[in-house]
Every structure is written in structure tokens, then in C-alpha cells.
Amino acid sequence: MRKYITGFAVGAILAGTTAVYADNAINAVLFPAKYEVNGKAMQLPDGYSTINVDGHAYVPIRFAAESLGAVVAYDHDSTTIQVDNDFPVTNMNSGIRAGHLQVTKTAEGAAVEGKLFVGQDHWEAMANSRKSGIAPGSDVTVTGDLLFYDDQGKHIGKVPIQAAFVAKGDQIRDFKATADRDVTGYAFALLANVGPVPRGLPVPPTVDVYDSSNRLGIGDVRMAAQDGFTKIRGWVSLNQTGNYRYDATLTFYDAAGKALGTAELKQTGSGSAESFTATTFEIAGKGDFTDYKSVSVTVNTFEPTSDPLK
């Protein structure tokens, strides 16, 4: 049996808007369409429908845009639905994304401009986190680091960024930042160390691969390949008491022991020889080594420091 809808209103939930109905009603027919995006079968989420109006299929804009890798946001001030596919810089620990990057060389280094996207899913996760302390609708400053790599996978710079948001709805905000070095020739950018993010119950990480001196170890590694690079997130532990600035190389191997690629791990961290301590890291390397079977850690430098931990 066909189902008809009279006076159909677009089924997108926009926070703070008021439903307005046209003087002339339209007749729409629910259309039981199947979807395939870039050769992959896709299903509409629960609560969404496809309709047929005068022979034209109307598809939920969020489903269509996100299936193609774009983001969707709503600008309340201009009552504009924004669909944007220029947010390729993704974070591995959240749905926060950066895009529209413009990097300009300056006398001191480089000026970096761009946009940050934070979606409603992130705010809901924050509200459901017992440790977030962020109420829906409150003002929030979202922070993170943009890590830049050249075409050989060498890390060439880090730029702290931030933008003001409201903890509700899908939003796009501008940011401006400066780098203390020239990163204009970058080939890949990674969005790391974003916050605030939801915090669940602490689970002790597994750190099981150490360098030959047993000073620095990694574990619980997760990966994602993108644009000829591999994004890497994991835990790092310093098995030596004090604060240290370190530079290490992670080498990933296949089942036959052939090196698939490397990644630089450069951070400042705190360690203890008496008890286990660990922090997260987010880096990238040239190539695709998501199917690696083993990894080695080589410490290049390991120096005491009094700088704040980063």
C-alpha cells in the first residue's frame, strides 16, 4: 500500500528553528528506494525516509552529504544549511574535523587559517560522559594541534589551534593560528590532541613494545590510512623517572619482517622507574602500513627537560 504525506515538511531537526508551512500543500509519496554510494550499499538511518514529489526523489541531506564524506551544519543566524566536503583533516579520537586550510609563509614561520567542524554527535557524547562537566548549550573552546608532514613523511611542524563553540548542534567555526616554522610545503596534516572529548572509565593500556634500552614503550596502537599516509594513535610509556623530551622512530613490519613504513614520535613526557605511567600519542607516517604484524621502537634522543609536558 502506498503512503501519502500532505503538507510535508523537510525532516531535518534544526536546533532553535520554528516550523513554517507553505500556503500551498504538496502531495508526496514515500519512495522505498535502495542506495548505493561509490559502489557500496547504504541504508537510511532509522527515522529517515525518501519521498517522491512530482517524479523527483527527495533524499535526506544529512544522509547524502555524510555518505560522500561531507559535513552538514546549520547556521542559525543566517538560517543556512551548510554542506561542505572540504574537511579532510580528521581526528582519530572524535568526529571533530578541520578543513579549508590556508598556510602562508611569514617572517617568523607561517600563518595558518582554516575551519573546525564539531557535530551534534560529539555534544551528545559529552553530555553522556560522567566526567565531561559540559552542559548542553554552554560555551566551549575546542582546542587541538595541527601536525604537518612533508611528502617523505617527515614531521615539519605543530600548530596549536582553537575556536569558540556552543555545546549543541552541528557547527563550523573559523580559526587563525601561527607556526614558529615554515610549514607551507606540507603534504599531509593531522588533527591531534583535540579537546574537550568524552572521558569514560579509565582502562589500563597495554604497553608491550619497548626500545632496546627499555626506556620508551608503546602499545594499544590503532591506525587508519588516508591520502597516502597512515594515521597512528596509541599509548606511550616512559620507564624512567622524570620529565623528558624524546625523539623516537617507530618502524612497522609485515609478516615476513619487511619494513612497511616508519613514523616519528616526538613529544615531551613524564615517566617513573617505580610505577607504570602512560599517555596517548597521535602521529602519522608515509605509506599504508595498517596491515602491519610487528613494530619496533628506536630512540634517537632522550633528554631531561624542565618544560611543561606537551
Does residue 267 register a pLDDT over 80? yes
Extract the C-alpha cell encoding 36. Answer: 548505493
CA 103, distance to chain mean position in Å, is 20
Q: What is the pTM of this model?
A: 0.84
- When the pLDDT of each residue in the chain is averaged and rounded to a whole number, the result is 88
| pLDDT tens string 116-170 | 999 999 998 888 876 667 888 899 999 999 999 999 999 999 999 999 999 999 9
Q: Find all residues with CB under 8 Å of 229, minimum gap 6, and list them.
A: 149, 153, 188, 284, 285, 286, 287
Mean pLDDT, range 232-248, rounded to an integer: 95
Q: Identify the band that residue 263 occupies on the pLDDT scale cut at 50, 70 and 90.
A: very high
Phi, psi for residue 18 in degrees, rounded to 5: -115, 135
Task: Give me the pLDDT at residue 148, please.
Answer: 97
Instruction: Report the pLDDT value the prediction gives residue 19, as an integer from 0 to 100.
Output: 41
Percentage of residues in the chain with pLDDT exceeding 90? 63
Q: Are 244 and 269 in contact (CB under 8 A)?
A: yes
146 touches 170 (CB < 8 A): no
What DSSP character marks residue 68? T
Sign of CA dihedral 257, 260, 262, 263: negative
Using alpha carbons, select from 273, 300, 278, 270 the residue that is nearest to residue 207. 278
Over the stretch 24-36, which tens digit does the pLDDT of each residue have? 677 788 888 888 8
Length of the chain: 310
Let me know: does 96 contact 111? Beta carbons within 8 Å.
no
**Mean per-residue pLDDT for 239-258?**
96
Query: Which of the two residues, 31 and 213, has the higher pLDDT score?
Result: 213
**The C-alpha cell of 147 is what?**
601536525
Q: 46-49: which pairs have CB atoms within 8 A and are 24 or more residues apart?
A: 47/11, 48/11, 49/11
Three-state DSSP at 61 gives helix
Q: What is the pLDDT of residue 21?
A: 46
